[in-house]
A = this chain, B = another copy of it.
Amino acid sequence: MSDNNKVSFVVFSGDMDKVFAALIIATSAAASGMEVSMFFTFWGLKAIQKGNLTGKGFLGRMIGLMNRGGIERIGPSRFNFGGIGRALFKKMMKDKNVVGLNELLETAIDLDVKLYACKMSMDVMEIAEEDLIDEVSGLMGGAGYIKEASESSVTLFI
C-alpha cells in the first residue's frame, strides 16, 4: 500500500467503452474507501455534459453536431457497425444485468467521486459551465490536475 489513498484519472476519451471502464474503476476504488478524482478533458467532457448541443459559434456548432453531449449519447470506440454498436452494447449490458453509464455516473456521485472539468478544453470546444451537469465539483487546469495526481497512488490516462 502506498503512503496515500487516492486515485486520479484523466478521462480524455469520449468513447463509451472507455468512459464505462473509467467509471467502473472509479466506483470500485471509491467503494474500497479510496478518494477518487476524475479530470474530464477533451472528448471526455461529453460524459459530464447535460445532453445539450455544445458551443454557440459556427465551429462550436459543428463539433456540437458531431459530439452532442450527455453520457447517453456516447458511442463505443469499436464495433460501431452502422451505428448499431451502442444499442448492441446496451442490450448486452442489460441482458447481463450490468448497469448503464448513467447509473454508473450516479453511483460515482453518490460515492463522492470528484468530477472536475478541464477549463482549457471547455474554452477550445466552446462548452460553458452551465452545459455541465450540476454535480461537477469544479473546473481545473493542467496545474490543478497535476497537483491531484501527485497526491495519488494510482494515476491513469483513459
Contacts and interface: CB of A to CB of B under 8 A. Distances in A.
Q: What is the count of identical protomers in the complex?
A: 3
A85 to B, nearest CB: 10
A154 B18 CA distance: 20
B28 A142 contact: yes
Contact of A1 (B17, B123, B150): B150
A63 interface: yes
B91 A63 contact: no
Given A7-B149, A12-B18, A156-B157, 11 more contacts: A1-B150, A17-B42, A24-B120, A25-B146, A32-B147, A43-B78, A59-B92, A92-B124, A92-B125, A156-B156, A157-B157
Interface of A: 1-5, 7, 10, 12, 14, 17-18, 21, 24-25, 27-29, 31-32, 34, 41-43, 59, 62-63, 66-67, 78-79, 88, 91-93, 95-96, 98, 120, 123-125, 141-143, 145-147, 149-158
20 contacts: A1-B151, A2-B4, A7-B150, A10-B25, A25-B145, A28-B141, A28-B146, A29-B142, A29-B146, A32-B146, A32-B147, A59-B88, A66-B79, A96-B124, A98-B124, A154-B155, A155-B155, A155-B156, A156-B156, A156-B157
